Structure 1
Amino acid sequence: MISLNEFLIHKTDEERCQWLNSYLKEVTKLHQNRQAATLEITVTSTSEYTLEIASLPNSSLTDNKWCIANLIDCLTRLYPRYDRYLSQLWHPDSFIKDYPPLKTIEKRVYKKRKAREKNLKHCFENNTHFQVSKSWNHYQVIQKAFDGPELTRLLQAPDQAIAEGEILKDCKATTVSLYKMANGQKVIIKRYNSKGTAYSLTRSLIDSRARVCWQGALLLDQIGISTPKNLAMLEVRQGPWIKTSYLITEFKEGETLSDLYREEHEQSSWPTIARQVEDILLTYPRVRVAHGDFKATNFIIDKNQPIMIDLDSFRSCSFFKIFKDTYFRDLDRFERNWVRCPSAMKLFTPIIQNARYSCLSATL
């Protein structure tokens, strides 16, 4: 069994359309039988799969609202990168004739995605996934899947761990260290340095940068953009005053886009990676979240899969104009990456243009 999201990732555009068309037809059949669909599928051959089903709540056979709600739920959980194919499938003569117009569906899907985004606030509460510890002097969150004595010791003396690790970056704003724990696991420790009392007081009125990155990584994972897994977050406090904060994430080894896309580099993998990057760029307008820094060094290639790092400037936008201005600045920055590599510029220019058009057309 596999999620439709993961199944479609490495498919061509044509294959994605075919599989989505097949999926939506099967959803329609289930609805006719008063059953609900999920995104879980079982692949039975190179061209067929079956859907996992669940019973719908009791409702009138003539009432279609539960069917529409289930369809919207499935499309909400579908990675936003696949939204662009729906317009090719949504026409009056197709299986969707009993559903609302696509524009109506898209608006409801967008609103539901934003509602799911708000539910991420639970990542700062004690529950089955997260363990929260707080006092007058600290606020700490650990993702339970990665909890253990080694991580506990690290959080007790993060500055010592940073000093013992390999310093990757050290500037006024942040210090980044690659640290190898006793169990052999490599992690990234990022300390957000205080720039003075006034700055610390200002940051205390809003979310710390570690908290922004923590929640941003969870949101990116939810919408299908890979990023290093969160392990723990720590804020050193004095009551409400945040002195400094730390973020510990898993370490992802791989080339950056700036290393890969060089004229002297072997170029056979370029189109494949570029297509994966395009999927990422086209995701942001569908949910109106902005990364804030599309430097080529913020894209790590791990097993031919782009992973986004450095979420310090990450933000979620409610208003389209604010998002558009931020996103276009990100695209401008992404374009500047390739000024010294004409081959890469030629490859990415249509992708950037498509991303701009996607943003302007996604005024939900």
Structure 2
Amino acid sequence: MSFRSDKLSVLINTGRLELRALLDSPDRLFEGALILKDSRSVKAARVETAEAGVFFLKRYNSKGFFYALRHILSKPRPAKVLRVSNLLRSAGVKTPQVLAAVFKYRYHLLLNTSYLITDYVENIIPPNTLIPGLLGNKSYFTEYRNQVIFCLNHLHENCTTHGDLKIHNIYSRDTAAGLEVGLLDLDSVECYKSPLTAKTRAKDLARFVA
């Protein structure tokens, strides 16, 4: 479901229409939220509201006129993340569901600022805890390895690279059903029109295996 005004376009990817009223002024959601990152490029937070519960919010900051001009013809990051997230989830790969994407425009056409709203993944095992656990438990390591391979195979088989495969972007957490492994931060994904070459696959994996 989508809504659009002169300066704002909202795309809701789920049936959670309670998000609609919150997204008229998405910057207000950062007030009182747990800020996870605040840089020149992005601001990200864990947000909790009475209306919509807990979710993850990321703002992609404006980088000026030429940045906006470039995005007239290219797909904004939240739109790319939405597409790839839906693709991966349909294949059984764990990744946060995109709840909504918001785009603010100048002069009806130039993208100024955009926002991504997704499920928030709780109880992620930090790498400094995960790695000793993997090294000390062979069956745990095998399960982790198999799930990582499953995620990356489906990603690459769908002609897509992650672009930032560091260990922090492959999350792990213990659930009632066992170990869960999935992909985070799809900002740098690239979608290709033909199957990936071995060189492209290897380049995508380089940061993870380094």
The answer to whether residue 16 in structure 2 is matched with residue 146 in structure 1 is yes
Aligned to 1:310: 185
Deviations along 1:300-327, whole A, 9 cap, x unmatched?
2232111211111112212346x54442
Alignment-derived partner of residue 331 in structure 1:
205
Question: Shift of the alpha carbon at 1:179?
Answer: 0.5
Amino acid at match of 2:115: Y
Look up the match of 1:287: 158
1:231 Cα offset (Å): 1.1
Letter of the structure 1 residue corresponding to residue 105 of structure 2: R
- 1:19-59 per-residue CA deviation (whole Å, 9 max, x = no partner) reads xxxxxxxxxxxxxxxxxxxxxxxxxxxxxxxxxxxxxxxxx
The structure whose Rg is larger is 1
Distance 1:214 1:267, change over 3 A: same
Measure the CA separation in 2 of the matches of 1:316 and 1:155. Answer: 28
TM value normalised by structure 1: 0.52
The one-letter code sitting in structure 1 at the alignment partner of 2:181 is P
Specify which structure has the higher proportion of strand.
2
**Could you give the per-residue CA deviations for residues 333-356 of structure 1, whole angstroms, max 9, x where no partner exists?**
1112xxxxxxxxxxxxxxxxxxxx
Q: Decide whether the 8 Å contact of 1:187 with 1:250 is kept in 2.
A: yes
What do you get for the CA RMSD once the two structures are aligned?
Answer: 2.1
1:73-107 Cα deviation digits (max 9, x unpaired): xxxxxxxxxxxxxxxxxxxxxxxxxxxxxxxxxxx
The correspondence of residues 51-130 of structure 1 with structure 2, limited to 5 A, is: none
State the 1:265 CA deviation: 7.2
Does 2:131 match 1:262? Answer: yes
Measured in 2, the distance between the counterparts of 1:141 and 1:216 equals: 15
**Partner in structure 2 of residue 211 of structure 1:** 79
Cα deviation 1:151-208 (Å, max 9, x = unaligned) = 2332022111113211101111111011001147210000011112111211232111
Q: Partner residue of 2:111? A: 242
**Structure 2 Cα separation of the partners of residues 329 and 317 of structure 1:** 14
Q: Evaluate the alpha carbon distance shift between residue 326 and residue 142 of structure 1 in structure 2; reply closer, same or farther with a 3 A threshold.
A: same
Q: What is the TM-score normalised by the length of structure 2? A: 0.87
Q: Is the 8 A contact 1:254 1:300 kept in 2?
A: no
Q: Specify the SS of the correspondent of 2:36.
A: strand
Other structure's SS at 2:69 match: helix
What is the number of equivalent residue pairs in this alignment?
203
In the alignment, structure 1 residue 319 sits paired with structure 2 residue 194: yes
- Using the TM superposition, give the Cα deviation of residue 211 of structure 1 relative to its aligned residue in structure 2, in angstroms: 0.9
The answer to whether the Cα contact below 8 Å between 2:162 and 2:189 also exists between their aligned partners in 1 is yes
**1:166 matched to 2:166:** no
Q: Structure 2 regions of 5+ residues with no counterpart?
A: none
SS at match of 2:27: helix
Identity %: 27
Name the CA distance, whole Å, in 2 between partners of 1:183 and 1:161: 12
Segments ≥4 residues shifted beyond 6 Å: none
- Deviation at 1:225? 1.2
User: What secondary structure sits across from 1:145 in the alignment?
Assistant: coil
> Aligned partners of 2:50 and 2:148: how far apart in 1?
35
1:195-206 aligned within 5 A: 195-206=63-74
Is 1:132 equivalent to 2:2 in the alignment? yes
- Larger RCO (CA under 8 A, 6+ residues apart): 2
- In the alignment, what sits opposite 1:357? none
Give the direction of change, closer, same or farther, for the CA distance of 1:285–1:307 in structure 2 (3 Å limit).
Answer: closer
Residue 19 of structure 1: aligned partner: none
Indicate if the aligned counterparts of 2:88 and 2:154 stay in contact, CA closer than 8 A.
no
Question: Which stretch has the larger CA shift, 209-218 or 251-260?
Answer: 251-260
What is the CA distance between 1:295 and its match in structure 2?
A: 0.8
Q: Which moved more, 1:323-332 or 1:247-256?
A: 323-332
Q: Provide the C-alpha distance between the structure 2 equivalents of 1:145 and 1:267, rounded to a whole number of angstroms.
A: 43
- Cα distance in 1, alignment partners of residues 195 and 129 from structure 2: 33
